[in-house]
Amino acid sequence: MPITTQCQLLGLSRSSRYYQPRGVSEADLTLMRRLDELHLEHPFLGARKLARLLKDEAFAVGRRHVSTLMRRMGIEAIYRKPRTSLPDRAHRIYPYLLTGVSIERANQVWATDITYLPMAKGFVYLVAILDLYSRKVLAWRTSNTLASDFCIEALQEALTRFGSPEIFNTDQGSQFSGEAFTEVLRDNAFALAWMARGAGSITCSSSGCGGV
């Protein structure tokens, strides 16, 4: 079967049939080795800053070439991304309740959030419970998954050590809006004040919980 017909049947251009892939040059292999070492030392740096470091070491390389090599090597900058808190549509949504509230004492308002901790290989998640008045970290936990267990453990430790605040402030991530986490909040009788907008809220006191 002629090559032209073969390419037509496969939906390929005829020029691709004759293409012979080129191997990686010795210069690029040397560059990739040093790039890998720099990435392990500074896993939070992107192509632009890595290119500057390489230029400081007398490598003749630009940002675009560094980006190409990083894609080929399967590496990317590790940094805090905006997708640590994914909402669950089945969970109740609460509005932001701290507008106009003056935070004047410890244990008035607590807050929590999840972030990344970059490691030499990959990363772990960190959750911290913070007192907004004193800026004191009341409890923290790390985990290699975004399950809610490590968030609940941190909350329970903070409650055990420092008692219950009046208001607890967080985002609408599924780890915080799930029943397992909010049950701990209701059992300890304080209000939920979500950072994101929504309809309805829940306020807890010693007499019980109710929607507002």
> DSSP string covering 92-153, please?
-------TT----STTSEEEEEEEEEE-SSSEEEEEEEEETTT--EEEEEEESS--SHHHHH
What average pLDDT score do residues 187-202 get?
A: 44
Among the ranges given (31-40, 99-108, 144-153, 163-172), the one the predictor scored with the smallest mean pLDDT: 163-172
The pTM of this model reads 0.51
Residue 141 has pLDDT above 90, yes or no: yes
Q: What is the Cα Rg of the chain in Å?
A: 26
pLDDT at 157: 94
pLDDT of residue 95: 66
pLDDT at 162 over 60: yes
Q: Look at residue 33 and tell me whether its pLDDT is greater than 50.
A: yes
Question: Is residue 138 predicted with pLDDT exceeding 90?
Answer: yes
158-184 mean pLDDT? 83
- Tens digits of per-residue pLDDT, 42-80? 888 889 999 999 999 988 889 999 999 888 888 888 765
What are the E-state strand segments in the chain? Answer: 109-118, 123-131, 137-143, 167-170, 191-194, 202-205, 208-211
The dihedral over CA atoms of 99, 102, 107, 112, expressed in degrees to the nearest 10, equals 40
pLDDT tens, position by position, 77-128: 876 554 555 555 555 666 676 778 888 999 888 888 888 776 766 678 889 9
pLDDT in tens, 1-25: 888 888 888 888 877 777 776 777 8
Q: Is the pLDDT of residue 129 over 90?
A: yes
For the CA atoms of 24, 28, 29, 32, what is the dihedral angle to 10 degrees?
A: -120
Average pLDDT, the chain: 77
Q: Is residue 142 over pLDDT 80?
A: yes
Does residue 209 have a pLDDT over 50?
Answer: no
